[in-house]
Amino acid sequence: MTDAPLPLLNWQRLVEIDRLAKRREELCQRIAKLKPHAHQRVALEERIRQVTLQQMQLENQLQGRRQ
C-alpha cells in the first residue's frame, strides 16, 4: 500500500489548477485582441507566463505525490 494521499484529498490543488487554466484562457483571449507590439500585450504575455508556471508547479506537485 502506498502512502500517497487520495485524489479527494487534493481537491484544493485541483481547484487551483482549474482556476489557473481559466485565467490563462482569459489572458489568451485578451492578448489575441491586441496589436503585436502593444505594451499591454507584452504585460499580459508576462502574466500568462507566470500563471502557466504556477499551474505547472501545482501539476508537478500532484504528479509527485501520485508516484
| Separation between Cα atoms, residue 62 and residue 46, nearest integer Å | 25
pLDDT at 67 over 70: no
Q: What is the pLDDT of residue 22?
A: 98
Range of the domain at 53: 15-66
Residue 50 covered by a domain: yes
Q: What is the pLDDT of residue 62?
A: 86
Residues 6+ apart with CB under 8 A from 40: 34
Cβ neighbourhood burial of 32 (10 Å; 0-12, 13-18, 19+)? exposed
In the block, which residue shows the cell 483571449? 29
Residue 35 covered by a domain: yes
Residue 25 covered by a domain: yes
**pLDDT by residue (tens digit) across 4-56?**
556 677 889 999 999 999 999 999 999 999 999 999 999 999 999 999 999 99
**pTM > 0.85: yes or no:** no
| Separation between Cα atoms, residue 61 and residue 34, nearest integer Å | 34
